[in-house]
Structure 1
Amino acid sequence: MNIPSTIKTHNWDQATTDLNNTGYAILPEVLTAAECDELVQQYTNDTLFRKTVVMERHQYGKGEYKYYAYPLLPVIQQLRENVYPKLAPVANGWMDALNKPTRFPDTLAQLLEHCHANGQLKPTALILQYAKGGFNALHQDLYGDVFFPMQMVIFLDEVGKDYEGGEFVLIEQKPRAQSKAIVLKPAKGDMLIFTTNFRAAKGNNGYHRVNMKHGVSEITEGSRHTLGIIFHDAK
């Protein structure tokens, strides 16, 4: 699949509306089934990765993930480069609404230049693997002082066929209110864009900050793989 063309064909006006209203947006069929399968098959190719994390050792959950090394695989690099410019205006809109001075540049290259100037040099794209009983505890992927407030995950297996359970969970923490859980089950090849840390939400007295965390519920059968793409680099 031609990634730049595929990204252009999606309804970014609707995605922007969804992100502003809910903190997440789902874009269907961003990768083909064959592209998803190839990424899963490459999981055992250690030359592609800079680091492996066994989640139980750090109380992150139960499963394993691997961070890709630079240079990234072309499909990952193209996704990162072509989606970022669609999201930067949304992120800047949130900063404006919350009266924050932070401004995000127009291109991924400019964002990474800022990361590198602040000592954040390591790529953060990763692939996650869970077996039966696996899960991911609620967390945020910040990696340093410089972070972009949105990230994305692409689902590489088919729920109901390759695995059961394993729902993607977002927790929305509004000020002076109980937390809200959002449970999502995108299809194989779908891209989920969601809030890394916080978003701007409009209330009765103007805009306020809504903090969000994400995780994965327990896999009850089969195995589950996802591709995670974070736009900022890590220390």
Structure 2
Amino acid sequence: MVEIATHTAGRDAHVSANPFETRVAALDWPRIETELDDFGCATVASLITPDECDRLANLYTRADLFRSRIVMGRHGFGRGEYQYFAYPLPDIIEGLRTALYPYLVAVANRWNRAMRIDVRYPPKHRDFIRRCHEAGQTRPTPLILRYEAGDYNCLHQDLYGEHVFPIQVAILLSEPGKDFTGGEFVMTEQRPRMQSRAEVVPLRKGDAVVFTVNSRPVQGTRGVYRVNLRHGVSRLRSGHRHTVGLIFHDAQ
């Protein structure tokens, strides 16, 4: 039998000095896993506080914290811009990425078994990052995205190299209806011999969406098949919107 819906998150992982581990451990992981299996994404309410949101958004002007800045319109990615953090990462970024990974790795390994992909991911994030670095993927990928009225992010996948962790997390740092309008997080799922399915994910300030990077398994009548997903952001109608992206593999 193919594993599609078994909840195997690392609930008994050792608690370290990372202050975000207790917060992450308290999340409803059975629900998150079920939604990932069923829809390719899951929401987490209030993963970080409004004050943490503001502190992260304010980092955007700190050029010394980032390794590169991308203006989307120059590359055909959409409109708006984003910056990739440099190492060492800010404590909140490093803490969240390290705390979330042990729960998501169980889903990632289960999905790969279901899709007959031989790759398995180690239990600890630092060991996976070591694997990336040994393969030449040494540039950190966590980022902050900034949008203003008229900006949008085209549908895409964040791959960056041979070693790809199949799940990532985005956290909304701005308040819909107050700081901006429009700008919804959007996913599309391309199914074999079927029309694509769209998913619009509502988020509030501090909420996170956990979602598929590239592909996930789906149980069909004739067994498991693979579907491909892309994500983006719809056009901002007004205001300004900041988002943090937590990607668990590094880039070449």
Matched with 1:108 is 125
Give the deviation of 1:176 after TM superposition: 0.5
TM-score (norm 1): 0.98
In the alignment, is residue 82 of structure 1 matched against residue 99 of structure 2?
A: yes
Once residues 210 and 86 of structure 1 are traced to their aligned partners in structure 2, the CA distance between those partners, rounded to angstroms, is: 22
Aligned length: 235
In the alignment, is residue 49 of structure 1 matched against residue 66 of structure 2?
A: yes
In the alignment, is residue 62 of structure 1 matched against residue 59 of structure 2?
A: no
Contact in 2 for aligned 1:159/1:185 (Cα 8 Å): no
Matched with 1:195 is 212
Give the deviation of 1:133 after TM superposition: 0.2
TM-score (norm 2): 0.92
Matched with 1:124 is 141
Matched with 1:211 is 228
In the alignment, is residue 164 of structure 1 matched against residue 164 of structure 2?
A: no
Contact in 2 for aligned 1:149/1:196 (Cα 8 Å): yes
Give the deviation of 1:41 after TM superposition: 1.2
Give the deviation of 1:2 after TM superposition: 3.9
Once residues 3 and 33 of structure 1 are traced to their aligned partners in structure 2, the CA distance between those partners, rounded to angstroms, is: 15
Task: Please show how residues 3-14 of structure 1 align to structure 2 within 5 Å.
Answer: 3-14=20-31
Contact in 2 for aligned 1:15/1:25 (Cα 8 Å): yes
Letter in 1 for 2:243: T
In the alignment, is residue 25 of structure 1 matched against residue 42 of structure 2?
A: yes
In the alignment, is residue 146 of structure 1 matched against residue 146 of structure 2?
A: no
Letter in 1 for 2:242: H
Cα deviation 1:34-92 (Å, max 9, x = unaligned): 00001111110101100000110001000010000000000000100010010111011
Once residues 100 and 45 of structure 1 are traced to their aligned partners in structure 2, the CA distance between those partners, rounded to angstroms, is: 40
Unaligned 5+ segments in structure 1 are none
Segments of 4+ in structure 1 off by > 3 A?
none
Matched with 1:35 is 52
CA RMSD of aligned residues (A): 1.0
Higher mean displacement: 3-12 or 134-143: 3-12
Matched with 1:71 is 88
Higher mean displacement: 12-21 or 138-147: 12-21
Matched with 2:12 is none
Letter in 2 for 1:69: A
Unaligned 5+ segments in structure 2 are 1-17
Contact in 2 for aligned 1:128/1:226 (Cα 8 Å): yes
- Identity rate of aligned residues, in percent? 46
Contact in 2 for aligned 1:31/1:190 (Cα 8 Å): yes
